[in-house]
Structure 1
Amino acid sequence: VDARDGTPWDDTVIDVSALRSIDADIAVALDQLDFDTYSLINPDLKATLVNGLLSIPSFTGLLGQGDLAINGTFDARNTDVPKLALAGRLDSARIESLVPIRVASDTILGGLGLTFDANAQGNTSRRLVSALNGTANLVLNNVRFSNADKRPPDPRLNIEALLRQGPQAMVVEGVGNNDLMQSLEADMTITNGIAKTTRVEALSRVGTADADATLDLPRWVMDTQADFDFSEKIEELPPFSVYAKGKIDDPVITGRMDKVAVRVLDNLIDKALGGSGSSNDSSGTGGSGGGSAEDAAKGLLKGLLNQFGR
């Protein structure tokens, strides 16, 4: 990682002049190749170099428990600013291995597949990624919370969990033993290193799901939003959105609900805990003389809910 900006890229010039004076057949096999964030297991490279053209018919390995296969060219025949063209696919990888995401006490599990076809031109890693253009297709399947098997398939709003862990726990407990998404497929375009979704099709057994994502590879940041509506099956769980923003390898996860949905849950809390209600004297000196324990718990819960409704 470049210590100046926290990205994997740097401004070291790639000296390709020597490539034009070497012809070679290349075969490299390793046990493990470590990068800043990921490790490629059993990498196997086969390539040929002729007059400055590096052809890579096969580069394979295990990434995030999935099979990675890449082919392409690195062309430095006529210039010191090489041209890169790559195509590849990642099959049967695991979300939790590639992008560990925590929600309350759970980790998001699921399968991940990726295909891509891209090209770029530049003489540093930063310039190459900033000139990256192409397309990609992302597929997710069986996306669920890690402790879902311990929860009922027909859950109800868990006030205790919300009080103990915060609003994220309301989503986790509310989804219960159900998948967040049965499947999701997204097409992406890459322009000058910025990948954006152009088509998303999602399928959920318990409701509807949709997503939108932007990955800024030069800055190594992401801005994604996933929208869920499970209210048809899980009546007490209103529609909600989950956001992942920040560094691609360490995003900040937040959630949000429509303010109307928050008010509905607010009423549920009133019914569940009783007490004097939010419409009474805000000074805390209501009829019970300083407020009851129920009022205190209710106030805390509503404060947590407001984090979703902002």
Structure 2
Amino acid sequence: MKAFGKILGLVLLGLLLIIVALGFALTHLFDPNDYKDEIRQIARDKAHIELTLNGDIGWSLFPWLGLELHEASVATLTNPTQPFADLQMLGLSVRVLPLLRREVQMSDVRVEGLNLRLNRDKQGHGNWEDIGKNAPVAAADTPSPAEQPAEQEAEKPPKPIRLDIDSLTINNARVEYNDEQTGKQFSAESIQLSAGAVHEGASIPVKLTAFFGSNQPVMRVKTELNGNLRIQHALKRYQFEDMRITGEATGEPLQGKTVTFSTQGQLLVDQAANIAEWTNLKLSANQLRALGELKINNLDKTPQLNGALSIAQFDLAKFLDSVGNPLPPMAEGSLSKVELVSRLQGTPTRLALEDLTLKLDGSTFTGRVAVDDFAKQSLRVQLKGDTFNADNYLPAKSESAKGATAARQAEVQNSEAGAMAAGGTTPLPDAPTKGAWSTDKLLPLARLRTLDINADLAFGELTLGKLPIQNAALKASGLDGQLKLDTLSGGLYNGTFQANGTLDVRQDIPVLALQSRIKQVPVERILQAQGQTPPVKGQITLDSNLSGRGNSQKALIDSLNGTASFAINNGVLLNANLEQQLCTGIALLNRKTLSSEPRGKDTPFQELKGNLTFRNGVANNPDLKVRIPGLTVNGNGDIDLRVLGMDYRVGIIVEGDQREVPDPACQVGSNFQGIEIPLRCRGPLELGAKACRLDKDGLGQVAIKAAGNRLNEKLEEKLDKVNPQLKDALKGLFKR
């Protein structure tokens, strides 16, 4: 037995030496470079590709089947002269014996200098679509049905090949995509990929770095990917554990700025269950920090997204500036404290933020925000807020607008300085001439034309135009360049406010129509909120229906047309003692001098009302009525909104000094009963009644009428002594 074992051992040793010798002989005596043409033909026949081998082929046989290709390129058979891929070197080794069991056990796989070029021509055909296709065959060469080989029996599906690779390395690879239809180009350059041992079900460490670029718009992104990849083919389950992507981006959309970003988490794709998940999601981009999780169901049908997102407090204004999209100047501190928590729901065509809580500079909103259709940018908003100051987010006035405002304020101040309304002895103020409105563009017409929005907002308190609107509600919609304000309503200084309107931006000149109603709101509070000194106090009720055209304040005011009616109850004309003005007029008519001092600087009234007709920025008021104790005021005139000026003629029927001890010069005798004292009011609108003076031209007519009254009084005395019938006849004669 010992001898047999010794002989068997010597035989096996001899066989091994023979195999090693044969391997040495094959690898040293057999040169695969001599068979390049045969290899290229096999590539055409079996893989249907055009393989070009410009470099040497190196190889080894046992125990590894080693292969190295240098300077190789690959093209399609339909276009063999234009390779879509080339490489400097491909090196790999495969164990020979496992191949017999359909197992691929490889050592290191190295790829150097791979270039992959994907091109879509002007007809929309991509060069990758021809990979694996045979070259076109002429009709004459097509074999007849009789010549075609009989169909082979269906083969059983091959057993899956099991991969087992020690490592994979790709250095200095490049992928580019060119679309001749759109002119767009994308590229990935300096690709470096390294992977550890690739085994079924095992954790595979992966690292990838690359530079990505595009030309429309010009963008450049540097990125690095790290993580552990786990592949389970049998279960159709793929995981990317501890995934982390970091990088920097710059380009035209960022206006020269750089965005530093990173994201990480656990990725899972389970094709058997048709789900994909991204858990422990962390995202950062400059100042932005976010956490969340995402889950997608129904991968085999219409994917359904569910998840959650939480964005930590950050400075949105600084973030937008850091990504090259600075906002117009706003109030200091605006958009400096923003945070968000929400559930996510969506499909490939829509995304909704449900159960949203948004904190914005001290304001808190809850509700829902959704894009119902990405292609149409259909925005749907349903939010409820506690307090919100919308004025803080409006662009600041431009320098030209500030200059126009300053010039007009100086004009108003000059007029007010010369008014001396209490005495009323100065000349009538001049009509204003300075424009009151900005020529800056108000609306982004191109953006509004594409807007598809439906908004439903509610606020505990909304500050808009410096007006604090309580329990405000806003509903608005927009589609195809036609925007509609369904309602904007709420409480205002214990009164109510409501407005609705439309905006048509389909043409270059937008058209605005607005209807509004203000009920029992203190008019002085409205004016004070606008930074104006109120000329009047009282509760105003205003109804208006107005329209205008243009894309600036000035254009809208210059084209303003429509109607309005107003009434102010329980009011006071401030800094305007009309009683003193009237007593001065009565004293002149009585040819007396006032002996008492002015009793106050204001004039109370019970009601002030009228109707307005707007035509190209000028409001005509034909029926001004004012009820003051002891006075009846009628007036008519114009309010020129273009310069915020007025020009009124006012007639006042007075009862005179009604105090227990009246000023003798201000007593209204029977001669002045029913006579209107004329006033002329002209100047900046802010002056109010301070711009009113006695109308001396009209005062002459008052004197004539008063003289007629005295003549009638004397006639009455004479006629009392004559026959009554003759008396009536004579009185009729004097009335003609």
Shorter chain as normaliser: what TM range? 0.5 to 0.7
**Residue aligning to 2:621:** 197
C-alpha distance after superposition, 1:108-163 (max 9, x if no partner): 4322111111111212222122111101111122233689xxxxxxx9x995633x
CA distance in 2, matches of 1:61, 1:67: 6
Structure 2 residue 636 is matched with structure 1 residue 212 = yes
Contact 2:640 2:646 in 1 (8 A): yes
Measured after TM superposition, the shift of residue 81 of structure 1 is 1.7
Contact 1:171 1:237 in 2 (8 A): no
Contact 1:242 1:253 in 2 (8 A): no
* Among 676, 693, 699, the residue aligned to 1:256: 693
Q: Which runs of 5+ in 1 are unaligned?
A: 101-105, 148-154, 163-168, 265-310
Contact 2:535 2:687 in 1 (8 A): no
CA distance in 1, matches of 2:478, 2:484: 6
TM-score, scaled to structure 2? 0.28
Measured after TM superposition, the shift of residue 28 of structure 1 is 3.6
Structure 2 residue 560 is matched with structure 1 residue 136 = no
CA distance in 2, matches of 1:32, 1:90: 16
CA distance in 1, matches of 2:638, 2:462: 30
Larger Rg: 2
Measured after TM superposition, the shift of residue 219 of structure 1 is 2.1
TM-score, scaled to structure 1? 0.62
**Residue aligning to 2:511:** 83
Contact 2:535 2:688 in 1 (8 A): no
Structure 2 residue 435 is matched with structure 1 residue 11 = no
Give the AA of the match of 1:15.
P
* Among 499, 518, 525, the residue aligned to 1:97: 525
**Residue aligning to 1:22:** 451
Mapping 1:101-250, distance limit 5 Å? 108-144=536-572, 159=595, 161-162=597-598, 172=602, 179-180=604-605, 182-224=606-648, 226-232=650-656, 234=658, 236=666, 239=677, 241=679, 243=681, 245-246=683-684, 248-249=685-686
Identity within the alignment, %: 22
For residues 257 and 123 of structure 1, do their structure 2 counterparts lie closer, same or farther at Cα, with a shift above 3 Å needed? closer
Measured after TM superposition, the shift of residue 75 of structure 1 is 1.1
Contact 2:650 2:679 in 1 (8 A): yes
**Residue aligning to 1:298:** none
Contact 1:64 1:95 in 2 (8 A): no
* Greater mean alpha carbon deviation, residues 57-66 or residues 18-27: 57-66
Give the AA of the match of 2:562.
G
Which of structures 1 and 2 has the larger relative contact order (alpha carbons within 8 angstroms, sep 6+)? 1
**Residue aligning to 1:272:** none
Q: Which runs of 5+ in 2 are unaligned?
A: 1-396, 406-435, 529-533, 576-582, 588-593, 669-676, 704-736
Give the AA of the match of 1:245.
G
CA distance in 2, matches of 1:207, 1:66: 28
For residues 146 and 188 of structure 1, do their structure 2 counterparts lie closer, same or farther at Cα, with a shift above 3 Å needed? closer
* Other structure's SS at 2:555 match: helix
CA distance in 2, matches of 1:12, 1:34: 19
CA distance in 1, matches of 2:649, 2:516: 26
Contact 2:656 2:667 in 1 (8 A): no
**Residue aligning to 1:60:** 489
Give the AA of the match of 1:243.
C
Contact 1:224 1:245 in 2 (8 A): no
CA distance in 1, matches of 2:545, 2:562: 6
Contact 1:117 1:135 in 2 (8 A): yes
Give the AA of the match of 1:256.
R
Aligned length: 233
Measured after TM superposition, the shift of residue 215 of structure 1 is 2.1
**Residue aligning to 1:33:** 463
CA distance in 1, matches of 2:548, 2:691: 34
**Residue aligning to 1:306:** none
Contact 1:245 1:253 in 2 (8 A): no
